[in-house]
Structure 1
Amino acid sequence: MAQQFKAASTAKTTGQASKATGTEPVQFIFDKSNYRFLIISVAIVTFGFVLMSGTTDIYSTTKIVIAPIVVLAGFALGFYAILKKPDTK
């Protein structure tokens, strides 16, 4: 049993295309400050992981205390950057 498929017919436009108003500026979800905070948070998280790799001493205070706090602070700043409302002008 062979099935025959019919190609869907394309609708012809009548020349009246929906006109997009090009006069209104595009509204982005995030503001410039949001992106700035997000980039800073990525840098802080990266710095925290570099601190974690550190020296050969496994039980150093930098590796087990300071570096995880720095990483968590970077993630917290990232969440703030996402949740921050853009400034209204």
Structure 2
Amino acid sequence: MGEKKRKEAAKIHSFIFEKKNYKFMLIGLAFITLGFILMAGGGSDDPNVFNPEIYNWRRIRLAPALILIGFGFEVYAILLNPNQEK
């Protein structure tokens, strides 16, 4: 009798998300990681020297946009119902 209950309990336990959700989560994580990598750098080793490279287009516009797109993918992945047919 105990073995039957264990088998039934094993059937009940499953992942919260499906494979499709995890794919979108990984895509979002890749966008976020790329955004932070693009945002890095541009500083100066000498505090008395100003490096205007810190305010270039890549760090001010592109990197934050990629991070926001990544967060959008993460929200979509969490809300996605993979069992719903379209």
Is the shorter-chain TM-score for this pair beyond 0.5, marking a shared fold? Answer: yes
Distance 2:24 2:3 in 1: 38
Per the alignment, in what secondary structure is the counterpart of residue 35 of structure 2?
A: helix
CA shift for structure 1 position 24: 4.6
| Higher relative contact order, structure no. (Cα contacts within 8 Å, ≥ 6 residues apart) | 2
Counterpart among 42, 49, 52 of residue 39 in structure 2: 52
Q: What residue identity is the alignment partner of 1:66?
A: L
Distance 2:32 2:84 in 1: 29
Q: TM-score w.r.t. structure 2 length?
A: 0.69
Distance 1:24 1:58 in 2: 54
CA shift for structure 1 position 87: 2.0
- Larger radius of gyration between Structure 1 and Structure 2: 1
Over aligned residue pairs, what C-alpha RMSD do you find?
2.6
Percent identity over the alignment?
Answer: 39
Distance 2:62 2:73 in 1: 17
Name the structure with the higher helix share.
2
Q: 1:68 aligns to what?
A: 64
